[in-house]
Amino acid sequence: MPRLRSTLNPEEQPGFIEGPTRYKVGPNQSELICGFCNEIYYVDEVTLQQAMSAMEEGIDNPFCCDECQAEQEELSH
């Protein structure tokens, strides 16, 4: 079964940004605030939709930046 090159190597795609960024870059055009450090991050549409769905379900902190996530994981061990 043939696969799209973007599915096989997404990091080689032009404009590919992995994860949230502090500035509007490439597909990261939507603003979200980290639920722990309250810093503003820019995310792509998929991440924004996931956060919006979590908010609708009543989750208090639907978005956590990578730094806070790593700190939370470290504290849990």
Residue 14, in any domain of the structure: no
Q: Is residue 11 part of a domain?
A: no
Domains of the chain: total: 1
Residue 13: per-residue pLDDT: 57
Residue 7 lies in a domain: no
As given in the structure block, the two tokens for residue 16 are 């590919």
- Residue 53 counted as domain residue: yes
Q: Would residue 42 count as lying in a domain?
A: yes
Instruction: Please write the tens of the pLDDT for every residue from 12-41.
Output: 555 556 789 999 998 999 999 999 999 999
Cβ–Cβ contacts within 10 Å for residue 32, how many?
A: 20
The parent domain of residue 60 ranges over: 20-76
Are 22 and 39 spatial neighbours (Cβ–Cβ below 8 Å)?
yes
Considering the entire predicted model, what is its pTM?
Answer: 0.71
Residue at 33 is within a domain: yes
